[in-house]
Structure 1
Amino acid sequence: MGRYVQAGDLDIWTEQVGEGPDVLLIGGLGDTVESWQFQLDGLANRYRMTAFDNRGAGRTSMPEGQPTVAAMADDAAAVLRGLSVSPAHVAGFSGGSIIAQELTLRHPELVRSLVLQSTWPAMDEYMKTLCRSIRWQATLAPDERAFLEFFFLLVYTPRAHNSGMVSQIIDDALAFPYQQSTGDFLKFLDAFVVHETASRLGQIKAPTLVLAGGVDPMSRPELGEAVARRIPGAQFEVMPEESHQPFQEIPEVWNARVDEFWRQLIG
């Protein structure tokens, strides 16, 4: 059952399921609570799982002006405080992993551990160029389906495309009643292009697991490894045959790995 949590003047849509140690899930570019459905379904028997729609995605509105990652991290902190969840195991993917990094740096008392999927310390020139191509595709694509067909080439493996999984994801996205506007998508994208945590990651004290997809063309494994090198004691693992979102493509494997990580910390 979902509810809104207030963060200043912003109402953030949240959903919470399960019982046990608290977990906060932070989605990426344009993703909503629904992107974590396999985790909400698969881990709620052991954890109290909380997910939310970032500003400008789903049921959470985009405030005026250009958003920043710092503001999104404060949104996540407001969700934790608003739901009396503290500290939590925090898992984020892609842009959500950057929000998770910033959340931990700005509000370390709220974060028990970190799982960073498909992450980076700062975009290199290759990744910035890729984001520019995403930007003009979003602007020039003839329709939403055409854009998603392009964008999801960067997100899912050929296996997922050939099995029909991606086609179903696109159908579901187009039928979703709370679609993100192109303008809000671009604002979200632009926030991550200019953000960096490379010089500050050494301040993170939370136990951290960094996961990378071996065939991810966006947040390539070497970028995830660079994050893990900068966070004291962080673990780094590559899922060799996976791309940007293995938590959706192989949720049982992904869930088992993060569950193992959290169980070790719980003791």
Structure 2
Amino acid sequence: MTVQLYARDIGAGTPLVLLHAFPLSSSMWLAQREGLAGRFRVITPDLRGFGGSRLGDGEPSVDAMADDVARLFARTGLSRAVVGGLSLGGYVAMALCRRHPDLVHGLLLAGTRAGADTDDVRGTRLRQAERLERDGDVTVLLDEVLPDLVGPTTFQQRALVYGRVRGLVQSTPAAAAAWAQRAMAARGDASGTLRELNVPALVMVGDEDALATEADARAVAEALPNAELTVVPRAGHLCAVEQPDLFNQAAAEFAAALARAR
């Protein structure tokens, strides 16, 4: 079954397609829609199974999620866009670069890794997927994933932000989370794709990110032929949610420079 992604599409100008983190939805991009839509066309889809998008069937695969995004391009009349992805969204963005490179005008990767999972991480994902399927709720995500989604600064000083993230995790459908965990566990190394990419890239990472570390971000940036690295202070894995003004400023400067270079 072909999945048609639900997407919010606002603003005008250079298109900026933002792909959300696991286990959230496009709701996480609220500050980006508010802060960037005055200068850019901001498109924020819900990846399959999350938010307003149906899960469909088929083998769990990040490639399938990238193909969903490519169909969204066709449906919305987009020929090329700056594609940004955070966490899971970054994995999908890298798969899009491999499978549909002509769609990508520029690449923004935040809080993500190029390498495949280690055996330990893969085992954890599959164990969590089994529990999500068995329990039919997201308790395992609240217990094991939520604590690492934000940095200690956010946890200690930004109670509203942490509460919002917790609410987004709580509203995640268990079946979609299990499917996505299996998809991420099965993905391969994307370093070769990055090395062959011929568009500018911006790599971002929170300096308190425990899931995709600054070392991971540097490895991503070094694999890309034309990339800048921005470290976001006092932010963990969800740097776009924890420090939206800093994230938006960097994303806007990157997209605007691409527009000028056309």
TM category (shorter chain) comes to 0.7 to 0.9
Are 2:159 and 1:164 aligned?
yes
Counterpart in the other structure of 2:203 = 210
Are 2:182 and 1:190 aligned?
yes
Q: How does 1:132-171 map to 2 (within 5 A)?
A: 135=129, 138=132, 144=138, 147-148=141-142, 150-162=144-156, 163-165=158-160, 166-171=162-167
Question: Which of 172, 181, 184 is equivalent to 2:173?
Answer: 181
- AA aligned to 1:161 is F
SS of 2:4's partner is strand
- AA aligned to 2:24 is D
- AA aligned to 1:31 is L
The answer to whether the Cα contact below 8 Å between 2:16 and 2:43 also exists between their aligned partners in 1 is yes
Alpha-carbon distance change, 89 to 221 in structure 1, aligned in 2, over 3 angstroms: same
Counterpart in the other structure of 1:112 = 105
Question: Which of 56, 62, 69 is equivalent to 1:63?
Answer: 56
- AA aligned to 2:229 is F
- AA aligned to 1:82 is R
5+ residue gaps, structure 2, are: none
Are 2:243 and 1:247 aligned?
no
SS of 2:98's partner is helix
The answer to whether the Cα contact below 8 Å between 1:214 and 1:242 also exists between their aligned partners in 2 is yes
The answer to which of 64-73 and 203-212 deviates more is 64-73
- AA aligned to 2:34 is D
The answer to which of 17-26 and 218-227 deviates more is 218-227
Question: Whole-Å Cα distance in 1 between the matches of residues 64 and 137 of structure 2?
Answer: 31
Alpha-carbon distance change, 120 to 146 in structure 1, aligned in 2, over 3 angstroms: closer
Question: Whole-Å Cα distance in 2 between the matches of residues 77 and 142 of structure 1?
Answer: 30
- AA aligned to 1:249 is E
Question: Whole-Å Cα distance in 2 between the matches of residues 13 and 202 of structure 1?
Answer: 31
Counterpart in the other structure of 1:27 = 20
Question: Whole-Å Cα distance in 2 between the matches of residues 67 and 93 of structure 1?
Answer: 19
TM-score, reference length from structure 1: 0.86
The answer to which of 138-147 and 82-91 deviates more is 138-147
The answer to which of 246-255 and 257-266 deviates more is 257-266
SS of 1:226's partner is helix
Shift of 1:228: 1.4
More helix by share: 2
The answer to whether the Cα contact below 8 Å between 1:24 and 1:89 also exists between their aligned partners in 2 is yes
Question: Which of 50, 66, 69 is equivalent to 1:73?
Answer: 66
Alpha-carbon distance change, 155 to 266 in structure 1, aligned in 2, over 3 angstroms: same
The answer to which of 89-98 and 162-171 deviates more is 162-171
The answer to whether the Cα contact below 8 Å between 2:62 and 2:95 also exists between their aligned partners in 1 is yes
Are 2:40 and 1:44 aligned?
no
- AA aligned to 2:152 is P
Counterpart in the other structure of 1:259 = 252
The answer to whether the Cα contact below 8 Å between 1:127 and 1:219 also exists between their aligned partners in 2 is no
Question: Whole-Å Cα distance in 2 between the matches of residues 139 and 157 of structure 1?
Answer: 28
The Cα offsets for residues 7-61 of structure 1, whole Å up to 9 and x where unpaired, read as: x732211110111111111112232221111101110000011111111112211
% identical equivalent positions: 25
- AA aligned to 2:21 is G
* CA-atom RMSD in angstroms: 2.4
Alpha-carbon distance change, 138 to 215 in structure 1, aligned in 2, over 3 angstroms: farther
Alpha-carbon distance change, 77 to 143 in structure 1, aligned in 2, over 3 angstroms: closer
- AA aligned to 2:13 is G
The answer to whether the Cα contact below 8 Å between 2:4 and 2:72 also exists between their aligned partners in 1 is no
SS of 1:153's partner is helix
Shift of 1:141: 8.4
5+ residue gaps, structure 1, are: 1-7
- AA aligned to 2:181 is L
Alpha-carbon distance change, 118 to 34 in structure 1, aligned in 2, over 3 angstroms: same
Shift of 1:156: 0.5
The Cα offsets for residues 174-195 of structure 1, whole Å up to 9 and x where unpaired, read as: 4xxxx43323211101211221
The answer to whether the Cα contact below 8 Å between 1:25 and 1:91 also exists between their aligned partners in 2 is yes
Alpha-carbon distance change, 164 to 240 in structure 1, aligned in 2, over 3 angstroms: closer
